[in-house]
Structure 1
């Protein structure tokens, strides 16, 4: 059987030119099928699904003989929820159709619409299609070429954590049962008695008893490779959007820049399936792609990344010689003239013992993108009412039989962007349990049931469940920071005029993003008063650079008597 995923073309008056355009670009890697009506398209999709043939995209001409693209594409998810949906609009009809198409996109009747090419090399047209196919290939399809093999028995939680890490990093990987033929070579390299999981990275390195920290350190470089005696102009702690933006701008301006990240590069945002309101990406971008591109961008400017270990402490420079701070991680130390804290926040735990015992076995904090394929046809619950929870619910709905959002408030509008609220309302297999909390849950080795409590009536309801994704708001982890660094009552880092007045120098507050420790700055979600949005975090990461430059100039004046 042809294993190539299908692109289904639904043509009208321009069917021949549409088919020619697609075959010229995609015929090698996809199976192009063409039909001439909406009725035939739905029949073809049902046959493909019945034959277990993956459908990557349905691209429909705007006007069809028996319908139109909006009506057809609205019906596609009922047959195949994961296919990308595109309306193809003749240029002559574009102006009259554009308002209706925009409204249909907001309703999530389709993923996007593009004008039918009028000549050769219409790269804008193909850019739109390739972006959608790329996201489909990452989030839906299994990789045909892998960079990392993970050998472990089915249900191994540590292997699941490694897989989640690799998915968030955008690294193609596959999980192999130890008895699988392809696993034998990996296990032979690991040696007899190797502890599972065993991971073979793309550089050939074998990791036994693999953990996410060990894998990410093997991929991006270990702290042990930091040259002795090196002093960075900027050490950025945390590689979410704020930290990545700080790294890009610092490195691009010639500053010696080191980025430390204990987990996956991208932070919480890296697990977002699709961010649709980020400036400059009209068709949206996944958190993984945004983090991946930002990391590459910073690296090309010279930033160095070290991952897999958490920063353990910061030792401020002495008052009489404040040339640099000492940043410690387990087994390593580096010197920094300035430090940018961009550690973000972590999802709060439910605190329900039976549920937290099943983390990695049907219960996940975040991880909706990497685990969505495992939720096929299951009943899934998402706890939380923020944008991350909304994005997770929409993505999970493409795979799960049902998705139920559980929130303490009366609805979603107070805590979620309007575009996401509308998308959720337009997704038929997503429902809402408002004014409700998770009271209990359990299962035999895997989550099987949840008990919910209504906050108004106090009544308790038992439901079967095979997946629970918790995104319960956030709290910072700042317990490791030095005592002289001021925090607010919730544990977020205070900066600028929000710092205690007794810490001000000569009656002047620190710079706007500077903490109570000179030369230590805070950006993004870890900072008290931040907006907790990807775009604002990126903006703060960029905005901190003038303050860093000013501090470096001050240090130079202290050391040499004049800026250098």
Structure 2
């Protein structure tokens, strides 16, 4: 009889393990020798000489997502006997087949173990010849194991609480950075097994386990980025161009800057794509007649920029901009700084905070700013409320309506017509489970450990209604978040960056402009510092226009470099 083959014969597949634990070195070596000779090609044979050592190995394999097919444990071991070991091992790898090695005198104990640890087989020592006494037993156990569902999970794993704000942030961070992950709730069996393998408990969630098996307990975004393969440190001290912000404008600038030979680095605080990267489907972007998701568009643009040589660094928060002679210095929150000849500010906008009482208490626990794509699977067959009347709200509504029981769009305006694209309005009108509540707003939210109720006010009828709701997504306008530029470049009264001809006052000298020549079209009041995208005062707030401004800004950078 030949050894059963693993269901995945790919060379890249993770080999399932067969673990043998025995405190007698001679017996241990003999077991492993015989197992390796028969099964070593398709299975990883692991040897341990004590129960605690074997449990350590099993925890490591659990974190790495390596499946364990069979556990072979000697009954008589000091400190922790085979039954005690198998009892703890089954908490980590419940699908592994369990075999106990016993002497003839210990047969009764082996039989008792069938009930204690759900033993699959006990094997009397000695097992010579293995072809008659060992291999038939292992073959049968492998056949049984291969019939169970035990596919290894080798991507990043997150263990957390369902209604934890930080757990939600970690999922959002990985999703927006195009990093696959598997989510486990801490109060479910597999989540508990992973926490045990990581040496922690539910009080210290979220726990992120990398594909390499490293456990990160309550990690920051910077720690996550460094462990999952994102670039967080620039390779140079000086560049031709620093692009601040990784939305469509910043990505467009990075692509054109790098492709035209500029030493270019793009600095992003969270993830490339910006608000557009959170859109479930953009259907009016040139060249994509069937639409494209914001994350797909951002991923393609990021890879395109990298192909041309642009560096993309994440989890670096820009807090200041300084002029040092011909250099433009960008300061980071951690105290580091980076210099370049030129800078393009493409930081986009952020969703405004909702003023209703209780909103901040439930953010990440039923209340979400954006995040529709990340949370969609968790609100399937439930009632969802969306606040906002622009395209981002409409795209989220269409996406969530696929799986949710109902979607209600709450908008203060009498209709969606002034703020949303016509094609989206038409789609919404044709989706039966989407309702639009016009002239309405959310006035308060409530619940215990998560959102459970929201109060809606109809401003036209001056009435209020409290409804049951566990999911509230907010898309309520935008704020530029340019406080870090205060006193450096000219901004308008809403914080948007003013550039080019808009700097002029009554046809006179541009505000704050130090040179004789006029500023270039997208140049701010600081020569060599340009602006592109939604953060630009009076911008179009569309993906295509943002990409176009990013490309145009690079053209103007070349002009500046040729003649500052």
TM-score, with structure 1 as normaliser = 0.68
Alignment of 1:488-503 (within 5 A): 488-500=492-504, 501-503=510-512
| Aligned CA distance change for structure 1 residues 450 and 470 (closer, same or farther; 3 Å) | same
Unmatched 5+ residue regions in structure 1? 1-142, 556-564
- Which SS does the other structure have where 2:216 is aligned? strand
- Which SS does the other structure have where 1:538 is aligned? helix
| Aligned CA distance change for structure 1 residues 188 and 377 (closer, same or farther; 3 Å) | closer
Contact 1:259 1:303 in 2 (8 A): yes
| Aligned CA distance change for structure 1 residues 158 and 484 (closer, same or farther; 3 Å) | closer
Deviations 1:174-209 (A, max 9, x none): 112447676578657755579422212345554221
Q: How much has 1:308 moved relative to structure 2? A: 1.2
TM-score, with structure 2 as normaliser = 0.68
User: What RMSD over aligned residues (CA atoms) do the two structures have, in Å?
Assistant: 2.3
- 1:350 aligned partner: 354
- 1:473 aligned partner: 477
Contact 1:220 1:306 in 2 (8 A): no
CA distance in 2, matches of 1:253, 1:458: 58
| Aligned CA distance change for structure 1 residues 517 and 462 (closer, same or farther; 3 Å) | same
CA distance in 2, matches of 1:179, 1:408: 40
Contact 2:442 2:456 in 1 (8 A): yes
- Which SS does the other structure have where 1:382 is aligned? strand
- Which SS does the other structure have where 1:330 is aligned? coil
Which of 197, 207, 212 lines up with 2:216 in the alignment?
Answer: 207
Which of 459, 462, 465 lines up with 1:458 in the alignment?
Answer: 462
Deviations 1:116-160 (A, max 9, x none): xxxxxxxxxxxxxxxxxxxxxxxxxxx996631112233332112
CA distance in 2, matches of 1:208, 1:272: 30
- Which SS does the other structure have where 2:407 is aligned? strand
CA distance in 1, matches of 2:198, 2:322: 40
1:154 and 2:162 aligned: yes
CA distance in 2, matches of 1:204, 1:249: 38
Q: How much has 1:372 moved relative to structure 2? A: 1.0
Larger Rg computed on CA atoms:
2
Deviations 1:351-395 (A, max 9, x none): 122122101111101001111111112111110000000000001
Alignment of 1:137-286 (within 5 A): 147-178=155-186, 187=195, 190-191=198-199, 195-202=204-211, 205-221=214-230, 223=232, 225-227=233-235, 230-286=237-293
Which of 423, 429, 449 lines up with 1:425 in the alignment?
Answer: 429
Contact 1:513 1:522 in 2 (8 A): yes
- Which SS does the other structure have where 1:295 is aligned? helix
Unmatched 5+ residue regions in structure 2? 1-150, 505-509
Contact 2:497 2:524 in 1 (8 A): yes
Deviations 1:204-251 (A, max 9, x none): 55422123443234335454x434x62011111110111011111111
Contact 1:213 1:262 in 2 (8 A): no
Contact 1:347 1:471 in 2 (8 A): yes
CA distance in 2, matches of 1:220, 1:250: 24
- Which SS does the other structure have where 2:552 is aligned? helix
Count of aligned residue pairs for this structure pair: 408
